[in-house]
Amino acid sequence: EDKVVQSPLSLVVHEGDTVTLNCSYEVTNFRSLLWYKQEKKAPTFLFMLTSSGIEKKSGRLSSILDKKELFSILNITATQTGDSAIYLCAVVLLKTQGGSEKLVFGKGTKLTVNP
């Protein structure tokens, strides 16, 4: 069974702190890994990571994939209250015959940033 495990499930920090969110996976037919941010409504896309191991950065957020150890981390530096959200990790599984690539999501990490 394909599994994506995120840790911690919940995290409370103060503004200015740096946080690291973890995502490990055990899946067949790995294609890539996606990170999403979910505030009140729909998840919004942050990064896509592949087996190339190239780090992705956007402002204070960065992420990298370790394909040997089968995990990814999402770093947020100098956190702000606007970073408070659920962060979802999803693994893209290769297409099955006649089907489409599918995403398997982790349960998410709820980040709360206090002023």
Partner 1 sequence: NAGVTQTPKFQVLKTGQSMTLQCAQDMNHNSMYWYRQDPGMGLRLIYYSASEGTTDKGEVPNGYNVSRLNKREFSLRLESAAPSQTSVYFCASRTGVSYEQYFGPGTRLTVT
**How far is it, in rounded angstroms, from Cα 87 to Cα 9?**
10
Site membership for partner 1, residue 90 (CB under 8 A): yes
Site membership for partner 1, residue 99 (CB under 8 A): yes
Site membership for partner 1, residue 32 (CB under 8 A): yes
Out of 43, 72, 79, 113, the residue judged to bind partner 1 by CB under 8 A? 43
Judged by CB under 8 A, the number of residues near partner 1 is 26
At closest approach, how far in Å is the CB of 115 from partner 1? Answer: 26
Pick the stretch among 15-23, 36-44, 58-66, 71-79 that binds partner 1 (CB under 8 A). 36-44
Site membership for partner 1, residue 92 (CB under 8 A): yes
**How far is it, in rounded angstroms, from Cα 106 to Cα 115?**
28
Binding marks (x or -) toward partner 1, 2..31, rule CB under 8 A? Answer: --x-x--x---------------------x
| DSSP character string of the chain | --EEEEE-SEEEEETT--EEEEEEEE-SSEEEEEEEEESSSSEEEEEEE-TT---EEETTEEEEEETTTTEEEEEE-S--GGG-EEEEEEEEEPPPTTS--EEEE---EEEEEE-
Please provide the distance, in angstroms rounded to a whole number, between the alpha carbons at the two ends of the chain.
41
Give me the residues that bind partner 1 (CB under 8 A), please.
Answer: 4, 6, 9, 31-32, 34, 41-45, 48, 88, 90, 92, 98-108
